[in-house]
Structure formats: structure tokens, C-alpha cells
């Protein structure tokens, strides 16, 4: 936009009566304010246009990250990033990093996961050591604490193979004690470390709108922030070591309870003769609203992001929600906190695992409500083929953690 100077504002100087003078003065002052406002708007439009040209967009709210980096440039230079765990979450997250100009090397034992990551521009390598050898930042996204511990502290793992200048970030959802052990192990080996689990699911990973819950030193977070912002809608520094995991397991406990309530409400509404789309729309703007309802409503055809539309394939695996709620129950025991609703959801998830649905999206719990699991006398077989056996390794699982 041309940077043209505004025409000068001329105030009439002819003599008038005092009443006319006061009226004219008010009118002139109003005109001045309007012109000033228009100038500010024009300046803002120019600034926004410039910002868009360099890839910086305004935050959607004050508590959001300082800006969303989608660009290359001196202010946010490209980084070398090592990534372990290229599954349902890792593949879209790394694809966003590559699209933002970062150089990403990734490792996973699962061939489909490796292929998906390669299609997103990741340089897929043959070992953890290869992935982290020259990294500025290293992310791990794995199913459970034992996997994260083995990958990070093992003989050929991250701490044994990466340069000490790298920041190590575990975005798996794991138990708090293991997260704090990893902080201590990293510090003992001379590394900076963050526990930074995420929420938002596969759709949030693909859209780059995940919520990151970070535990560790704020200064270390500032080093990693430019890369995290590519994948994040919001970043919360939750405090010291392990506090990111504390926030995550509490959040996912609440998610599981809301999901169970959504499944029960959706089936009840349908059996009462309510149109599913109408009820979904009214509930999503009423007191029954929740993220689970808006994103995972378990009636086919109501919302595109729901796993029911794809026979509960992909998404947030039942086994992983069961793990997360188990971590919350463990924390409840440790802190003396009664978690009756969480226990009830955990019991429901156990039933799903017993039916062989541990690798199906957790919204399949609707089948325990509508009877399509076979409990109402039907065989429950329509679209409910069990997933792979439960003994699959972390990388073979495709690191499906959220």
C-alpha cells in the first residue's frame, strides 16, 4: 500500500457567534477524531499486510503465544530437529515443522509411520542416534513412560547420542515420577529438558493448534518456543519438572469423563426421538457442551472430526485413554483424592480392551451404551473388527500418544 501523507486538516477561521462557534468546534473536534481513527486503521492495515507477507499472523487472544511462526527468516531461524515417534500424532506435527522451514530427521520402527512421515517431508533415518546426531531440539512422542525412558536414557538413546547443546522435549503422556526422573537424568548428562505433553488430538496435530502443557525451566521453554509455536495453538508453562504431565493427566481424566457423558447423552437423545444434528448443535452452545461433544460426537454424520465416521479407526486409541486415566487414578491414590467418575470410565475402557478394541478410537465406548457391542443380544460385529494384539512395541504402535 502506498505510504501517502494524509491531506492537511484545515479548521475554518471565520468569525461566528459564540453558540455557532461552540457547535463548530465540537464538529471540528469530532472530525479530527474521525480522521485520526481512520489514519490508525490505515496504518494497521499496512502493518498487517506487511506481517502477512513475512508469515507472521496476529495471535487470536492475548494469552496465546507471541506469534505463530510459519516463516523462514532471521527472527526465527530454521532448526535441526530430531523426532522419535512418527505415529498418528508425530507425523502431522513433524509435517508442520517441515512446512515452517525446519529440518527434521525422524525415527520409528513402524514402516507405515515412516512412510507417512516421509510423505510429509521428514528425513526418515535408521536409528535414534541418526535422528539426534546434529539436533538443536529433540522431541519424543511415545506411548508410555517405559518407552520414553528407554529411548531417552538407553545405551544408544537420546542422551548418549545427541550434542549436549540440544534441548530434549518429551511430548509423550507419561507418569509424573518418570517425567521427573527424565529431568534428573538429562540434567545429570548435561542436557536441558522439558516435559511437554499435548492435547488436541490428531485433528489438532494436523491443524497446528495443539495445546502444549510444559514442565521445566521457563528459559529452556523460550529456546524451544519458536518450534513449538509451529505446532501449537496455545502454550502453557505449568511450572517445574513433571508439572506438564500433571496437567495433562488431569485434563485427560476430565476428557474421558466428558466422553462417557457425551456417549450416554447422544444415545439417549436419539432414543427420545431427537434429531442428532439438531441436538448436537443445541448442546454445543448450551450447558452440556464439551470438547468431546463438539469434536467426537459419536453419531455418524453429525461432525466430520468424529471417529464414528471412520469405524473408529485412527484417532486417540482406547488403550491410551485407559493408560492416561490409570495415571490419574494413581495420582488420586497418591494425593488422597477420590476419583469415582474416573474409576467408572476406567472400568468401561477395560471392557473395551477385553473386546479387543484397544487400538480403536476411544469414542467406541458409545457401543457399550447403544448395545452394538453385543450386550443387547446382537453380535456387535458391524464395523468392530479388533485391532492388532496388545503386545506391540512403542514404535510399532506408531507412537499414537496425544
Mark 284-301 as b/e (b = at least 16 C-beta within 10 Å). eeeeeebbbbbbbbbbee
The 10s digit of each residue's pLDDT in 328-387 is 999 999 999 999 999 999 999 999 999 999 999 999 999 999 999 876 544 443 333 333
Predicted local distance difference test score (pLDDT) of residue 253: 98
Predicted local distance difference test score (pLDDT) of residue 315: 85
d(CA 272, CA 267): 9
Instruction: Identify which of 268, 281, 258, 398 has the alpha carbon closest to the alpha carbon of residue 342.
Output: 258
d(CA 146, CA 148): 6
pTM of the model: 0.74
Instruction: Identify which of 241, 240, 221 has the alpha carbon closest to the alpha carbon of residue 232.
Output: 221
Beta bridge partners of 124: 106
Predicted local distance difference test score (pLDDT) of residue 374: 74
Predicted local distance difference test score (pLDDT) of residue 376: 55
Cell of 307: 471417529
Predicted local distance difference test score (pLDDT) of residue 153: 98
Beta bridge partners of 105: 82, 123
Kindly give, in sequence order, each residue whose CB lies less than 8 Å from that of residue 96, ignoring residues fewer than 6 positions away.
Answer: 205, 206, 208, 230, 231
Predicted local distance difference test score (pLDDT) of residue 164: 97
Q: Which residues of the chain have pLDDT under 70?
A: 1-76, 375-402
Predicted local distance difference test score (pLDDT) of residue 11: 32
SS3 of residue 264 by DSSP: helix
Catalytic sites, residue numbers:
248
Predicted local distance difference test score (pLDDT) of residue 314: 84
The 10s digit of each residue's pLDDT in 201-254 is 888 999 999 999 999 999 999 999 999 999 999 999 999 999 999 999 999 999
Amino acid at each position: 500500500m502506498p505510504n501517502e501523507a494524509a491531506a492537511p486538516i484545515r479548521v475554518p477561521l471565520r468569525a461566528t457567534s459564540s453558540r455557532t462557534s461552540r457547535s463548530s468546534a465540537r464538529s471540528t473536534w469530532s472530525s479530527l477524531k474521525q480522521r485520526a481513527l481512520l489514519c490508525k486503521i490505515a496504518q494497521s492495515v499496512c502493518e498487517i499486510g506487511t506481517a502477512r507477507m513475512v508469515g507472521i499472523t496476529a495471535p487470536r487472544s492475548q494469552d496465546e503465544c507471541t506469534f505463530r511462526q510459519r516463516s523462514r527468516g532471521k527472527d526465527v531461524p530454521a532448526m535441526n530437529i530430531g523426532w522419535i515417534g512418527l505415529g498418528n500424532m508425530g507425523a502431522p506435527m513433524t509435517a508442520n515443522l517441515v512446512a515452517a522451514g525446519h529440518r527434521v530427521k525422524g525415527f520409528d520402527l513402524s514402516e507405515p509411520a515412516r512412510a507417512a512421515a516421509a510423505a510429509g517431508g521428514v528425513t526418515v533415518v535408521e536409528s535414534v542416534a541418526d535422528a539426534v546426531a546434529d539436533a538443536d531440539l529433540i522431541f519424543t512422542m511415545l506411548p508410555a513412560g517405559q518407552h520414553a525412558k528407554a529411548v531417552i536414557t538407553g545405551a544408544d538413546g537420546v542422551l548418549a547420542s545427541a550434542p549436549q547443546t540440544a534441548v530434549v522435549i518429551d511430548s509423550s503422556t507419561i507418569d509424573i515420577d518418570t517425567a521427573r526422573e527424565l529431568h534428573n537424568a538429562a540434567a545429570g548428562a548435561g542436557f536441558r529438558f522439558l516435559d511437554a505433553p499435548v492435547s488436541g488430538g490428531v485433528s489438532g496435530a494436523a491443524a497446528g493448534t495443539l495445546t502444549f502443557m510444559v514442565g521445566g525451566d521457563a528459559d529452556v521453554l523460550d529456546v524451544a518456543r519458536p518450534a513449538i509455536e509451529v505446532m501449537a495453538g496455545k502454550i502453557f508453562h505449568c511450572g517445574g519438572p513433571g508439572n506438564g504431565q500433571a496437567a495433562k493427566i488431569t485434563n485427560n481424566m476430565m476428557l474421558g469423563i466428558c466422553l462417557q457423558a457425551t456417549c450416554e447423552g447422544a444415545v439417549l437423545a436419539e432414543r427420545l426421538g431427537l434429531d442428532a444434528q439438531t441436538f448436537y448443535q443445541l448442546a454445543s452452545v448450551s450447558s452440556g457442551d464439551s470438547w468431546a461433544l463438539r469434536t467426537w460426537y459419536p453419531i455418524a454424520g453429525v461432525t466430520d472430526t468424529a471417529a464414528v465416521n471412520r469405524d473408529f479407526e485412527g484417532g486417540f486409541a482406547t488403550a491410551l485413554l485407559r493408560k492416561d486415566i490409570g495415571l490419574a487414578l494413581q495420582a488420586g491414590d497418591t494425593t488422597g483424592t477420590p476419583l469415582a467418575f474416573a474409576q467408572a470410565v476406567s472400568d468401561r475402557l477395560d471392557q473395551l480392551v477385553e473386546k479387543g478394541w484397544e487400538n480403536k478410537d476411544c469414542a467406541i465406548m458409545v457401543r457399550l451404551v447403544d448395545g452394538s457391542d453385543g450386550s443387547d443380544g446382537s453380535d456387535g460385529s458391524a464395523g468392530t473388527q479388533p485391532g492388532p494384539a496388545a503386545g506391540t512395541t512403542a514404535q510399532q504402535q506408531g507412537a499414537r500418544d496425544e
